[in-house]
Structure 1
């Protein structure tokens, strides 16, 4: 797990810039999260489906650790997703004490449609900007990746 970056005390101007960036990032993330294939699905539920799409099947403990929630909390989330038909639990072939959790075809469709909607919303928003601001956003995306990697 990454630790928070520590630096010299910030100037008032830098503190304001950091706060403004944080607020703008959260607002954009909130707008993107609103673009989903299933309106009743929580962000946590979608995160589990997206994790399974990107990283493949996991045990309950692995999912809980990856999402930084307790095993009982993850079990409730997985139960709900399983009842909706978006994932399955199957016994591990090597260790029958373990259960592997994987996406169903319907779960994969939910993830892909949500990603498609989010990308389309953001593309439309960016298209409305002038070229100079779009260039700034391209540069900002790279800088944000660097900051996130700290």
Structure 2
């Protein structure tokens, strides 16, 4: 069915209602995966900062911009992660006035462990579904991936 045919089948209000249901379901799943799978002291915002450091060191200011939080908030988050041994701070070799934050081995391990826990949480729920529901979700995942890529 083409987009136009789908819009006609659902009608403008139907498309809007479906869009809202999908948005809310995606938000709920995302929240549940982040919070239900938490074990220990690694809060979702801590994990997010660690994941931002996987590709290399960043300044706290850059992290704050990426995470869309204030600089003081990021300073507290980085301080916690340093104290926990998950990141290290050092002077920027190109500009000694700046500080860089980078993952430690423990930080990388925490990322992997959190991803495994989150994956396991989701897998357990999908495994409880019927074969038909799993097939429907496989199709929906491909469609949602296309929507997210736009």
Into which bin does the TM-score normalised by the smaller protein fall?
0.7 to 0.9
The unaligned stretches of length 5 or more in structure 1 are 1-9
- 5 Å-filtered alignment, 1:108-119, equals 108-119=108-119
SS of the aligned residue for 2:97 comes to: coil
- For residues 51 and 65 of structure 1, the distance between their equivalents in structure 2, rounded to whole angstroms, comes to 11
Bigger radius of gyration among the two: 2
| Equivalence for 1:130 | 130
Equivalences, count: 139
Greater fraction helix = 2
| Equivalence for 2:43 | 42
CA contact (8 A) 1:37 1:113 kept: no
- For residues 143 and 65 of structure 1, the distance between their equivalents in structure 2, rounded to whole angstroms, comes to 30
| Equivalence for 1:74 | 74
Cα deviation 1:90-112 (Å, max 9, x = unaligned): 11122211211111111112111
Query: TM-score w.r.t. structure 2 length?
Result: 0.83
Query: TM-score w.r.t. structure 1 length?
Result: 0.83
For residue 70 of structure 1, report the CA deviation from its aligned partner. 2.1
Over the aligned positions, Cα root-mean-square deviation in angstroms equals 1.7
- 5 Å-filtered alignment, 1:1-150, equals 11-33=12-34, 34-38=36-40, 40-53=41-54, 55-150=55-150
The unaligned stretches of length 5 or more in structure 2 are 1-10
- For residues 70 and 131 of structure 1, the distance between their equivalents in structure 2, rounded to whole angstroms, comes to 46
Cα deviation 1:71-92 (Å, max 9, x = unaligned): 2221111111111111110111
Give the structure, 1 or 2, with the largest relative contact order (CA under 8 Å, sep 6 or more): 1
- For residues 76 and 24 of structure 2, the distance between their equivalents in structure 1, rounded to whole angstroms, comes to 31
